[in-house]
Amino acid sequence: MINLWPILQGRETIFREIQVEALTADTSFALCAQCAALVEAVTPFNDERVPGVWLEIIEDDVNGRQLLRLIEAQGFCDRIWQIVSDKTMLGELVGDEYEFDDFPELGPAEWPSYLLHLSEQDSSRVCDELVEVIRLECERLNIQPIIPDDLSDVFGPDEEERRRLYFRERLQIDLGWRIRKNQERWMFYVLDPVDGGVAVNATPRSVQARQQQSRQQFLAALLAIRHFASSVDSPFVDSFDFALHLATHAQGELAPDLNALQRSDAGRAPDDWSSVNRFVAMFAPFAWGADRLLGLAAISAADVFGGMGSWNDQEFSSEDEVRFHSVSEALFDALNQYYDALVSIKT
């Protein structure tokens, strides 16, 4: 069954990250008028949300002297020495994910001297636990960790990155703008028409020419990646075949004849055509023709890029790997160009 909604999925992340950078830099986020129907404001449910406390090791090799400098910079080092000198207290604080079989048994007064002479190799015995104790104590005190300037490339994040992390977290929960979705997220994002239309500097002829040009580029990229997928026995051949079938018939301003289209591809799984039928029915109020409807359906069928289990999650020999990257890049670029031509201009 093809998935007909992820065309904007990657763009949602980009849209959020632009807002993250604007908030981090304390500048305004500009929302163009053409996007007004595609997004919705998020109502904050708590404007006084406390930022999370972040502290992690950036540099792989950390020595004891650096750990000691970090601890002493916090202003509550006596509390830290007390915690790490009591394995019961330490375990209760940091949780079960840490094991203390190799953790040194030292008194509070012995820790500074111990760390001062600890090598990078031996510091792995205590490094993660000490950093987590600092983070948790800062969280309890509702303060951010203090990282000395000369250790900024060893421990992080810095203040700017903390702001970035905070706003990234907020934007995923209760802040900013997000792309609107319909009630059935697995189908497609809603693209509501803007009342009065969208003013554009493009003639119908130039719009049509751009759509046809991008469609030809998309078809060429599909043929190339389909040929490669077949040569390496990839399971994604079927997806490319369906995308080719849809894109080949993505022409004309009249609504597509889906029954005739399905008869010409009789071997196709019924669920695939059920998805296309629902997609076409959902966009019926827009009175789009086969050029747009089947073009967008073809784009969705060809969008096999992603994470685990996707087209990207395949491995090939060195020679095939070069071809893999070449055809993948060509399709990804053509897919986005075609999508942009189909939906970014109101005709």
At 119-159, the pLDDT tens digits run: 877 888 888 889 999 999 999 998 999 999 999 999 999 88
Omega before 157 within 30 of 0, i.e. cis: yes
pLDDT band of residue 1 (cuts 50, 70, 90) is very low
**Same domain flag for 219 and 139:** no
Q: Tell me what percent of the residues of the chain surpass a pLDDT of 70.
A: 86
**Same domain flag for 325 and 231:** yes
Of 156, 181, 213, which residue constitutes the final position of a domain?
156
Q: What angle do CA 306, 184, 41 make, to 5 degrees?
A: 85
**Same domain flag for 147 and 210:** no
30 falls within a domain? no
On whether the CB atoms of residues 190 and 180 are closer than 8 A, the answer is: yes
pTM: 0.48
Give residue-wise pLDDT tens across range 278-305: 878 877 778 888 898 899 889 988 988 8
Range from 38-42, 191-195, 227-231 carrying the lowest mean pLDDT: 191-195
Range from 10-24, 263-277, 318-332 carrying the lowest mean pLDDT: 263-277
247 falls within a domain? yes
**Same domain flag for 226 and 309:** yes
Per-residue model confidence (pLDDT) at position 45: 78
Give residue-wise pLDDT tens across range 44-70: 877 667 778 889 898 778 899 999 999
On whether the CB atoms of residues 247 and 291 are closer than 8 A, the answer is: no
Per-residue model confidence (pLDDT) at position 282: 79
Per-residue model confidence (pLDDT) at position 181: 64
299-319 b/e (C-beta count within 10 Å ≥ 16 → b): bbbbbbeeeeeebeebeeeee
Per-residue model confidence (pLDDT) at position 344: 66
Give the range with max mean pLDDT: 29-38, 95-104, 107-116, 247-256.
107-116
Domain hosting residue 293, numbered range: 204-343
Give residue-wise pLDDT tens across range 158-175: 888 889 988 988 888 888
**Same domain flag for 240 and 333:** yes
More confident residue, 2 or 320: 320
On whether the CB atoms of residues 142 and 51 are closer than 8 A, the answer is: no
**Same domain flag for 339 and 220:** yes
**Same domain flag for 250 and 331:** yes
Nearest-angstrom CA–CA distance, 76 and 88: 20
Per-residue model confidence (pLDDT) at position 193: 43
**Same domain flag for 225 and 149:** no
21 falls within a domain? no
Nearest-angstrom CA–CA distance, 300 and 304: 8
More confident residue, 198 or 302: 302
Nearest-angstrom CA–CA distance, 123 and 71: 14
100 falls within a domain? yes
pLDDT band of residue 325 (cuts 50, 70, 90) is confident
According to DSSP, the residues that pair with 57 across neighbouring strands are 155
Residue for token digits 């949602």?
12
**Same domain flag for 114 and 213:** no
Q: How many domains does the chain have?
A: 2
**Same domain flag for 210 and 330:** yes
pLDDT band of residue 274 (cuts 50, 70, 90) is confident
pLDDT band of residue 79 (cuts 50, 70, 90) is very high
Per-residue model confidence (pLDDT) at position 4: 37
Q: Read off the tokens for 10.
A: 């990657």
Give the range with max mean pLDDT: 38-47, 234-243, 313-322.
234-243
Q: Where are the alpha helices (DSSP H) in the chain?
A: 9-24, 64-73, 77-84, 87-94, 111-116, 120-123, 127-141, 159-171, 204-231, 237-248, 258-263, 270-282, 290-302, 318-343
| List of residues 6+ apart from 23 with CB closer than 8 A | 29, 163, 167, 171, 176
267 falls within a domain? yes
Mean pLDDT, to the nearest integer, of 233-253?
90
**Same domain flag for 324 and 212:** yes
Per-residue model confidence (pLDDT) at position 205: 59
311 falls within a domain? yes
Of 156, 175, 195, which residue constitutes the final position of a domain?
156
Per-residue model confidence (pLDDT) at position 81: 95
143 falls within a domain? yes
**Same domain flag for 214 and 304:** yes
Q: Read off the tokens for 199.
A: 């003013």
Nearest-angstrom CA–CA distance, 199 and 345: 9
Q: Is 236 helix (H, G, I), strand (E, B) or coil?
A: coil
**pLDDT tops 90 at residue 82:** yes
29 falls within a domain? no
pLDDT band of residue 266 (cuts 50, 70, 90) is low
Distances (CA, A) of 22 to 28, 46, 120, 172, 217: 6, 20, 39, 15, 35
Q: Read off the tokens for 303.
A: 């969008």
Average of per-residue pLDDT values in the chain: 81
